[in-house]
Amino acid sequence: MGQLSGRVALITGAGSGVGEATARVFSMEGARVAVLDVIGDRSTAVSESIKRETGDAFAIAANVADAADMERAVETVIHRWGHLDVLVNNAGIQILGPFHTQTESDFDQLIAVNLKGVMLGCRYALPTMLEHKKGVILSTSSVLGLVGDPSLAAYGATKGGIIALTKALAVAYGPLGVRVNCVCPGDVNTPLVKEFFDYQPDPEAARQEVAKHYPLRRIAEPHEIANVLAFLASDKASFISGSHVIVDGGLLAEVY
C-alpha cells in the first residue's frame, strides 16, 4: 500500500509541470486525485492517463483566481468522494521583465493567480477538513520567496506571501487537526521554467549557466518536487507543520 492510500487530494495547476507530476505520484501512492487546471483539455488528458495507468482520478476545469470556480471544485470533490484530505495549491504564473516596466495589471494578475489562488483554495478546503478534524494543505512557493531575482520581483513577492500565509494557517488550524506546509523549489524542468529560458537571448546557454549555479549541476525534474509533496502529505510527516521546505539541489547553501 502506498503512503497516501485512501486519501483524497485536490491538486491545482495539475495539467502540466510540477502539478501533473504531483497528481501522478499521489496516484501511485494510493490517493484518489482531482486534477484541476485552468485549461480543461490538459486536466482531462492527465486524469485519463492516471485512470489508465495507476488509479482513480477526474478532471476539473477551473480558474484558481475565481472564488466561484474554487468553491465548485471543492464541492465537486466532496460530492464525488465524500471528503477532502489533501489540498495542493500548485497553480502559478510568471510575468518576466524589469519591475519598473511591469504594469499594475501585470501585478494584479500575479497576485490573483499565485497568492489569491492559494487563499481561495484554503478558504474552501478548510471547512471540510475542520469538520473531519484532519487535513493537509500544501502549497508550491519558490526559493524566490526567500531570495531575489531581478527579472521576477513581483513573482517573488507572491511566493514570499505564500510562505507567510503557510505559517499563519499552520498556527491557526494546527490545534484543529490541519497541517499546513509549503515547498520552495529552485528551477524545475517545466514549461514555466522553459518560458524563462526562452526569454533569454540564448536559451540553451542560459540553461547551462543556471545549472552551473547548482551544487548538483542541474535543475530539478518535476517528480523530484512531487515526491517531497507526497511525503509532506503522508503520515510520515505527521509532525511537520508551518514549514517551508527548500528543494533546490543546494542552490541557497552557497554564499558566492
| C-beta atoms surrounding 77 within 10 Å | 26
Query: How far apart (Å, rounded) are the C-alpha atoms in residues 108 and 88?
Result: 22
- Establish whether 199 is a catalytic residue: no
Query: How far apart (Å, rounded) are the C-alpha atoms in residues 245 and 212?
Result: 22
Selected catalytic residue, list 124, 155, 173, 214: 155
Residues 6 or more apart whose CB falls under 8 angstroms from that of 106 comprise: 95, 154
Query: How far apart (Å, rounded) are the C-alpha atoms in residues 238 and 153?
Result: 34
Angle ∠(172,176,181) on CA atoms, nearest 5: 55
Residue 220 is given by DSSP the state B
Judge whether 11 and 85 are in contact, CB under 8 Å: no
Helices (H), 31-184: 40-53, 67-81, 104-110, 117-132, 153-173
And the C-alpha cell for 114?
499565485
User: CB-based burial of residue 136 (10 Å sphere; 0-12 exposed, 13-18 middle, 19+ buried)?
Assistant: buried
What string of DSSP letters covers 24-36? HHHHHTT-EEEEE
And the C-alpha cell for 237?
510527516
Which residue numbers are catalytic?
155
